[in-house]
């Protein structure tokens, strides 16, 4: 059975924070990255209290409602997955508003990431476990968020988990547990590590 690689999108394949930052600038707001959070980093220029979280979420939803997602691909992501896909199946598993699916699928195609797309919500343990049960081969999972990695470790303990944080500004703030989930923030190193974990 072919090995399977399950990969998150935002801050793994995609520089989401940068794209979202460009979007909020068009609304006269700015991003100050001083913690590992999304909404608590949005400020009105000159203010020292972040925007309230509900207003941040509204912006987030508006961003995902756009037909075209102005988000850069993480450096080396397409090449790394191309290499892995020679010997493994690849599935993209993203938590995003359901209505953003077409734009998300188009973004993947346009960035040379033409793999099966699963759009979900909530902790990723269950969907990863369901996907893993469909193959007898080894399975690897990549995400930026520690709760998702821990959720997978709990629900699907045989899956090899890897952490990757694509935006270098977020890296110092990202909670991690390298003893449980090897952390590799560059695809040039992550791709070969995934391949080695799958024996390919
Ligand atoms: Mg993510």
Nearest to 156 by CA among 141, 171, 174: 141
How large is the average pLDDT for residues 62-90? 95
Task: Give the per-residue pLDDT at 29.
Answer: 97
Q: How far is the CA of 133 from the centre of ligand 1 (A)?
A: 23
Q: What is the mean pLDDT of residues 93-117?
A: 95
Q: Which residues contact 133 (CB under 8 A, 6 or more apart)?
A: none
- Residue ranges per domain, the chain? 4-15+71-198, 17-65
Burial 66-101 (b: 16+ CB within 10 A, else e): eeebebebbeebbebbebbeeebbbbbbbbbeeebe
CA of 177 to the centre of ligand 1 (A): 16
pLDDT confidence band for 38 (50 / 70 / 90): confident
pLDDT (tens digit per residue) in 159-194: 999 999 999 999 999 999 999 999 999 999 999 999
**Residue 1: its pLDDT value, please?**
73
- Cα–Cα distance between 7 and 194 in angstroms, integer? 11
**9 CA to middle of ligand 1, Å?**
6
How many Cα atoms occupy the beta-carbon half-sphere of 182 within 13 Å?
Answer: 15
Q: How confident is the model at residue 72 (pLDDT cuts 50, 70, 90)?
A: very high
C-alpha 49 – ligand 1 centre gap (Å): 25
12 alpha carbon to ligand 1 midpoint, in Å?
A: 6
Quote the pLDDT of residue 14: 98
Please write the tens of the pLDDT for every residue from 116-129. Answer: 999 999 999 999 99
Distance 11 CA to ligand 1 centre (A): 5
Fold designation for 4-15+71-198? Rossmann fold (3.40.50)
């Amino acid at each position: 059975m072919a090995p399977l690689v399950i990969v998150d999108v935002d801050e793994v394949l995609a520089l989401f924070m940068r794209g979202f930052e460009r979007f909020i600038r068009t609304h006269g707001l700015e991003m100050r990255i001083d913690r590992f959070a999304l909404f608590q980093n949005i400020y009105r220029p000159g203010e020292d209290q972040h925007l309230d979280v509900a207003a941040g979420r509204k912006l987030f939803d508006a961003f995902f409602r756009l037909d075209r997602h102005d988000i850069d691909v993480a450096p080396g992501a397409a090449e790394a997955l191309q290499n892995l896909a020679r010997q493994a199946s690849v599935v993209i598993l993203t938590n995003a508003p359901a209505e953003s699916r077409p734009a998300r699928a188009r973004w993947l195609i346009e960035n040379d990431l033409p793999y099966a797309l699963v759009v979900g919500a909530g902790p990723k343990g269950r969907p990863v476990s369901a996907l893993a049960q469909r193959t007898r081969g080894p399975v690897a999972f990549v995400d930026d968020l520690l709760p998702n990695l821990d959720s997978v470790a709990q629900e699907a303990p045989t899956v090899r988990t890897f952490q990757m944080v694509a935006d270098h500004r977020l890296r110092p703030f990202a909670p991690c547990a390298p003893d449980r989930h090897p952390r590799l923030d560059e695809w040039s190193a992550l791709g070969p590590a995934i391949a080695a974990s799958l024996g390919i």
